[in-house]
Amino acid sequence: MTVPARLPIVQAPMAGGPSTPELAAAVTGAGGFGYVAAGYLSPDALRTALDRTRALTAAPVGVNVFVPGRPNADGAAIANYAASLQPEAERLGAPLGEPRWEDDAYPAKLDLLARAGVHTVSFTFGCPTADVVARLHSAGVRVAVTVTSADEATTAAAAGADSLVVQGTEAGGHQGTFAGVTPNRASLNEALASVRAVADLPLVATGGIMTAADAVAAMEAGAVAVQIGTALLCTPEAGTSAPYRRALLERRYSETVVTRAFSGRWARGLANRFAVEHADAPAGYPQIHHLTRPLRAAAAQAGDPDVPNLWAGTGWSAITDDDAATIVRRIAAGL
């Protein structure tokens, strides 16, 4: 087993609000493995989140970190996109954000996690260097890397990863592709098959897993555990905003779409107005994330679900507002 849990169920780290210490502790308490999402948090906020999680559970937990990309986005394309968003900003009475590149405090977070005593650090948006992996290993920390293809799996294995989180295109939220240039179109089963062919490591499957049947299928395809995210979005322990919850539970939008409209990186979410109207958004993460963030925050504050990112996987229509333990145990009961 790649995670120290009674059940082969992992809580997806959903940065930006949904992941909370309460959610990680609830999943862990039900027999799964909980994650703290470090993305978008300052190192001090990450330390606080870890302290709060440990106050709620004595069980081992993991932390997920974003691997920074290169600051090579097309400035002219981003400026044109910003101009197209000005009417939305005026409607909401909110300024556009500064489309800046930053590394999400990656070095400082690694320094913290090398001495924080967590069980696992997982990485997404890229692969840590072999030196980073070795440093974490020397601190007794296991390393997992999110991959979507055989090439990415080969790179992660060569860097020394202990396990791979294999993500299919069905997954909600940001796709974990290393380059992030083209959307991942490989289904979870296709991704598992291609990764199994090149990497002899434990595989955690993620993408569209909402039910016990989904989990069984992924484990029959070679995964040792499954990672669930969308299924937990409407739990009372999640930090999901009120308009986001209502959009999911009331089935306000009929489908999901893979888009760069909100962050400049491919991600799957409900096809709300903003996602549909800005289907031609350019690449540029995290520049576009910062550009649109004030608009998304203002809309969420106003209770408007048509503008914020509403990340959700393809199985989202099976969502419930049950508590996290109930969802974990429901999936586990069918394994």
Would you place residue 315 in the very low, low, confident or very high pLDDT band (cuts 50, 70, 90)?
A: very high
pLDDT at 180: 85
Read off the pLDDT of each residue in 174-194 and give the average, rounded to a whole number: 96
| Cβ proximity of 34 and 11 under 8 Å | yes
pLDDT at 319: 98
Read off the pLDDT of each residue in 141-152 and give the average, rounded to a whole number: 98
Check the CA dihedral 310-313-316-320 and report its sign. negative
SS3 (DSSP) at 81:
helix
For the chain, give the percent of residues with pLDDT over 70: 99
Would you place residue 86 in the very low, low, confident or very high pLDDT band (cuts 50, 70, 90)?
A: very high
For the chain, give the percent of residues with pLDDT over 90: 97
List the domains of the chain with CATH numbers: 9-68+103-240+319-333 (3.20.20.70), 72-102+254-309 (no CATH)
Q: What type of residue sits at position 227?
A: Q
Does the pTM exceed 0.85? Answer: yes
Give the HSE-up count for residue 229: Cα atoms under 13 Å, Cβ half-sphere: 30
Look at residue 165 and tell me whether its pLDDT is greater than 60. yes
Would you place residue 154 in the very low, low, confident or very high pLDDT band (cuts 50, 70, 90)?
A: very high
Query: pLDDT tens digit string along 239-282?
Result: 999 999 999 999 999 999 999 999 999 999 999 999 999 999 99
Distance CA 113, CA 124 (A): 15
Look at residue 2 and tell me whether its pLDDT is greater than 80. no
Read off the pLDDT of each residue in 91-98 and give the average, rounded to a whole number: 98
pLDDT at 5: 78
SS3 (DSSP) at 254:
coil
3-state secondary structure 112-134: HHCCCCCCEEEEECCCCCHHHHH
- Alpha-carbon distances, residue 228 vs 75, 165, 196, 233, 294 (angstroms): 36, 11, 20, 10, 28
Q: Tokens 């493995």: give the residue.
A: 33
Q: pLDDT averaged over the chain?
A: 97
Would you place residue 4 in the very low, low, confident or very high pLDDT band (cuts 50, 70, 90)?
A: confident
SS3 (DSSP) at 12:
coil
Which one-letter DSSP state was computed for residue 311? B
Query: pLDDT tens digit string along 108-136?
Result: 999 999 999 999 999 999 999 999 999 99
* β-sheet bridge partners, residue 36: 63
Look at residue 291 and tell me whether its pLDDT is greater than 60. yes
State which H helix or E strand residue 259 sits in: strand 256-259
Preceding peptide of 286 cis, ω within 30°: yes
Residues with Cβ < 8 Å from 51, sequence gap 6 or more?
none
Q: Tokens 């240039």: give the residue.
A: 181
* β-sheet bridge partners, residue 167: 206
| Cβ proximity of 269 and 54 under 8 Å | no
- Alpha-carbon distances, residue 192 vs 38, 146, 259 (angstroms): 26, 12, 23
| Cβ proximity of 265 and 39 under 8 Å | no
| Cβ proximity of 283 and 291 under 8 Å | no
| Residues recorded for the chain | 335
Read off the pLDDT of each residue in 303-331 and give the average, rounded to a whole number: 98
Query: pLDDT tens digit string along 22-57?
Result: 999 999 999 999 999 999 999 999 999 999 999 999
What is the Rg, in whole angstroms, of the alpha carbon atoms belonging to the chain?
19
pLDDT at 1: 45
Look at residue 313 and tell me whether its pLDDT is greater than 90. yes
Structure tokens at 314: 């393809």
Structure tokens at 109: 């977070």
